[in-house]
Chain A
Amino acid sequence: MTNPIVDFANSDCILVIGSNFAENHPIVSRWVLDAKRGGARIIVADPRFTPTAWSADIFLQLIPGSDITLINAMMHVIIEEGLQNQEFINNRTTGFEQLKDNVRDYSAERAEEMTCVPAELIRQAARAYASAQASTIIYCMGVTQHTCGTETVIDCANLAMLCGHLGRPGTGVNPLRGQDNVQGACDMGALVNVYPGYQTVTDPAIRNKFASNWGLPAESLSTEVGLTLVEMAHAAHRGELKAMLIMGENPAVGDPNLNHVWESLQNLDFMAIIELFMSETAQLADIVLPAASFAEKRGTKTTTDRRVQWFEQAISPIAEARPDWQIICELAERLGLGYAFRYQSIEEIMLEMNRLTPSYSGITPERLKETTGGIPWPCPSIDHPGTPILYTEKFSKPDGLGVFTPVEFKLPAEETSPEYPLVLTTGRVVMHFNSGAMTRRSPALSSREPELFVQIHPATAHRYAVQDGEKAIVRTRRGEAQAKVRVTRRIGEGVAFMPFHFPDTNILTTDALDPRAKIPEYKVAACLISPAQGKEGEQPQ
């Protein structure tokens, strides 16, 4: 996020695209509703009328996968009506003419055909976003989990730069991260192409820096980019990947195209997992190493708005559970690499981060323990207060200028056909977290959302002869899943929504990837829905 969560309260207009924060980041609602109370206009673009959309002044019910067309059309309207921030464009950006050429073809009328959002609403949204004093964009997985995810994120940035809504309170481009400390994990290089602090693995100079700090010969660290999650499943399926160590992940439920994933995991020679619970993936593992939960360990977490916060242990680890860092050090010891993993404490690891991660340089354990609410990176030195708002004066490019990058609409990897006529989109519900490995174990939560459901429009239910409250079979090119039907006018005709917290949803989803970010297209698949044969509990005929 370019701006802190609390800063949403300072916005005059909030554009929410591909985020259902009322269910998935409920705390964000506090600040968005404060903004609304102060007179801010709320625009929500979503295929479903979610609780997030309840507070919307303008609701844009687009069809899944048409986000780029919507954003390009908003920019078309803004330029057509001269609402862009020319001063910001002149002083802080390059490439405006290319953007202008690119969006010329995206009239509101053309976008109406492609997105199903009325042209007049697109115009209203564009005017509201462009003309407010301080507008902010909130986006989430609805934007990213597409084969055009990277382009859509770029387009959000284009829109913000076009109107100069960056670098000030109440503005910004704000992706909401999906998990506690996922920001921190990325910052620490839990990605295939970077060391901590987004320092690229392909640069030998950076490799040498890390190797010498860790006391390793430089050539022992690879300069090649590794495999991402879905690519690993594919490599295991081909027999090229032999063993996996999995931590904090439940691919046997969470990954797309699950039938394929199950074959891949079973094709491994060896799998070890570091887990809290006997998850679906842990059941396939050769060895399960019990991990300590958040309450049983101490350290830092980095929130979605880049704030690094210290947390202390509440209880001692139960039974054999251990904090992840200790498990990793012990594994290294057994592998004969113990000399490179001689950490005695969390503080010692944090001090290494301060040395090797420029954006974390000034975020020392001593400072963090004294700073309630944490310190937002970049924080380059011990006396630096941290950076709550990014890009106040320049962007992180050599010349400091933001680059408009025109993007074109792209069709999803899988289109509907006579055989699979509905668009299946997946997402989350408020009661569950990700693969449900934790929340399906909580009676308080699972009693309120006990089973897999599929949400469809009354007309869709009528056409495919399925009834509200009864079981239906949802089928895609990859497999089928049984789900309880929920008929609602909250969703558009021709679209079906399923939450992915239950083991069967991802049997249906596609493992087509965004070519750059390698994120799978969880948000669009072609499906068919039909009544389940026989009553509940009976065998299908």
Chain B
Amino acid sequence: MTRVIYMDLNRCIFCRACEVACEKEHNGISNMFVQLVDERYAVPMNCRHCETSPCTLVCPTQAVHREGPDAVIVDTMVCIGCKLCNLACPFGMIWPDTFNKVARKCDLCIHRREAGLDPACVATCSARALAFGELDDFLVDIRKTSGVTIIHSAGGDSGTLITLPGNGRDPKTVHSISSD
């Protein structure tokens, strides 16, 4: 199973503590980038660790490679600084460290995971916008929550039939089927 960093986009408050935590774990270099959108949404962006990762495909020296089931990492001793991975990444999440002339990216805090800890960005997130775990578990949670939301927004109570949107009727209409 693959463990991922899950971002709850409703919860990020743009405090950027994840960036600072990442910097602390990686010798002053942050691989976390919180993007402010329309001055009212914040998206904590880091490497998606793609299953078919364009960065590993274009790397001429296999410096960028998959390590274990979870992470795509850069072996900076093998990296030649050609920047092809920077061009290939659709998310802009590999960037050139022009001082050391190597590619930099999120390593999913490999050293922390080996010690049984969550990645630093996740551990530090005050608003719990970030979480680390099995993707399937997150999806189960989302299904549960959206199920509850559907029922509650339709005013669901025991003995009522819920009418969902899309059949031409007012979605809020609730027909009682209790027998009295």
Measured CB to CB, the nearest residue on chain B to A32 is B127
Instruction: Please report whether the interface of chain B is mostly helix, strand, loop or mixed according to DSSP.
Output: loop
Contact A30 B127 (CB under 8 A): yes
Cβ of B29 to closest chain A Cβ, rounded Å: 11
Q: Within 8 Å CB of B28, what residues of A?
A: 443-444
A39–B19 Cα distance when bound, in Å, is 30
Task: Say if the beta carbon of A489 comes within 8 Å of chain B.
Answer: yes
Q: Within the assembled complex, what's the spacing in Å between the Cα atoms of A488 and B36?
A: 13
B161 at the interface (CB under 8 A from A): no
Task: Please give the distance in Å from B119's CB to the nearest CB on chain A.
Answer: 17
* B21 (CB) vs chain A CBs: closest residue: A444
B42's partner among A27, A51, A444, A488 (CB-CB below 8 A) is: A51
Which of A26, A52, A488 contacts B126, CB < 8 Å?
A: A26
- B14–A51 CB distance below 8 A: yes
> What residue in chain A is nearest B11 (Cβ atoms)?
A33
B20 touches A23 (CB 8 A): no
**B145 partner residues in chain A, CB cutoff 8 A:** 37
Cross-chain contact B15 with A26 (CB below 8 angstroms): yes
A467 contacts B by Cβ under 8 Å = no
Chain A hits for B10, CB < 8 A: 33, 36-37, 55
Classify chain B: how many residues form its interface, as a range: 20 to 34
Q: Which of A37, A39, A51, A430: most chain B CB closer than 10 A?
A: A51
B128 smallest CB distance to A (angstroms): 5
The answer to whether B20 and A29 touch across the interface, beta carbons within 8 angstroms, is no
Q: How far is the CB of B11 from chain A (nearest CB, A)?
A: 5
B23 to A444, Cβ gap below 8 A? yes
Is there a chain A Cβ closer than 8 Å to B152's Cβ? yes
- Are A26 and B17 neighbours in the complex by a CB distance under 8 Å? yes
Cβ of A360 within 8 Å of any chain B Cβ, yes or no, is no
Q: Is B143 an interface residue (CB 8 A)?
A: no
Contact code string B34-53 (vs A, CB < 8 Å = 1, else 0): 00000111100000000000
Within 8 Å of chain A (Cβ to Cβ): is B110? no
Q: Nearest chain-B residue to A37 (Cβ)?
A: B145
Do A39 and B126 touch across chains, with their CB atoms under 8 A apart? no
Known: A26-B126, A30-B127, A30-B128. A490 touches B13 (CB 8 A): no
Q: Can you give 6 contacting A-B residue pairs, CB < 8 Å?
A: A26-B126, A29-B13, A30-B128, A33-B128, A51-B15, A445-B20
Residues of B within 8 A of A (CB): 10-11, 13-17, 19-20, 23-24, 28, 39-42, 126-128, 145, 152
